[in-house]
Amino acid sequence: MSSLDLQILTLARNGRSSLVASFSLLVFEWLATLPSEIELIHSVPSRWSSIRIAFVLCRYYPLLAYSVILWAYTGDFSGQQCSHITRPVYALYAPSHFLGPAVMVLRAYAFAGRKFKILVLLSCCYALFFGIGVWVYWAGVGILPTEWFEHFGKTGCYPSSGDGIMGFRVGFAIGSSTLMDLVSLSVVLHCRKEGMDRWSLGKYFVAQGLGSFAIITMVNAAATIMYFQPQGSFSRIGLSFVIIINTITACRLILQLREKAVEMESYIDTQSNSKNEYTLTAPTTTTTTVSPSTNMDVWNVDDSDARPLVSSQQTV
């Protein structure tokens, strides 16, 4: 067996192993956070808002898509079969690639007070990011050469993407994802200067965004470096982990922020009830108190939750 054959075999083995590992991580994360998901997402009696839909897609589409990808990449197929399977299966990566940054965009837009100019900025940037993803995952995807199957017989159906233009395209997609998250983070930091973080939930929102961006950037950078090493043993393990980490982080952001919002709502309700217990019967004046979290509308699962908290204060 030649050195080229050994290299191809090593890349194939590492690619399969990384896919199995990333899928295992995805399933573990789903099971670990399922109790919180049921309590904070599915137990809330509400309509299906855009935020709730984004969470469900971000959580369950990768589970379904990776099941199909795992079947195609780890099975044994002939060259003729792979010529029909490779491109459709590879296209399944695209929605998972889009979902993570979409959650960050929705999050930034909500934090910015749903301003129209912020919507235009984020929409334009996301449209460019989406176009790059379409180019990478759905246009001109290379398949394994016939020589591959002549050397190894039946094998998995994955694209030829270790080097050349395909490697550049995947690296470009990873980089565009990082830049899209950077734009969303910049919007949050800009709103921070305008005082949107004067409440505890707003401060938590900013800190959470910085932490998630740091994690995603480190993973994306490591994957890009490994991917552009066609002669190395680890050049094919990055893409699956990048997409999985992005979707896991996005789902964690929603769950953590929802949990924080519920805690604040509970605290505000407790404070309001305590005040009402000590009021005296007398002519009343009604004042409206708006809770910080709801006034900012900082991404509750249901948009209808973002309503002012009204309490009646009675004065003698």
* 255 and 296, same domain (yes or no): no
Q: Verify that 252 and 292 share a domain, yes or no.
A: no
Give me the chain's average pLDDT, please.
74
Q: Which helix (H) or strand (E) holds 311?
A: strand 310-314
Domain of 306 in residue numbering reads as 277-314
Are 310 and 217 contained in the same domain?
no
- Other CB atoms closer than 10 Å to residue 257's CB: what's the count? 25
> How confident is the model over 89-110, as a mean pLDDT?
89
Report yes or no on whether pTM surpasses 0.85: no
Interatomic CA distance for residues 297 and 103, integer angstroms: 15
Number of separate domains in the chain: 2
Residues 190-212: tens digit of each pLDDT? 777 665 555 555 666 677 767 77
Whether residue 154 sits in one domain with residue 245: yes
Is the per-residue pLDDT at 83 higher than 50? yes
Report how far residue 251's alpha carbon sits from residue 207's, in angstroms, rounded to the nearest whole number: 16
What are the angstrom distances between the C-alpha of 178 and each of 184, 212, 239? 10, 11, 13
Same domain, 235 and 290: no
Do 133 and 281 lie in one domain? The reply is no
Do 228 and 300 lie in one domain? The reply is no
| Domain identity same for 67 and 138 | yes
The answer on 299 and 174 residing in a single domain is: no
Same-domain pairing of 18 and 65: yes
Greater pLDDT, 228 or 179: 179
CATH classification at residue 174: 1.20.1070
Same domain? 205 vs 284: no
Amino acid in the structure at residue 136: V
Distance CA 262, CA 309 (A): 14
Same domain as 45, residue 11: yes
Q: Which of 90-94, 104-108, 305-309, 310-314 has the highest mean pLDDT?
A: 90-94
Largest distance between two CA atoms of the chain: 95
Whether the predicted pLDDT of 157 surpasses 80: yes
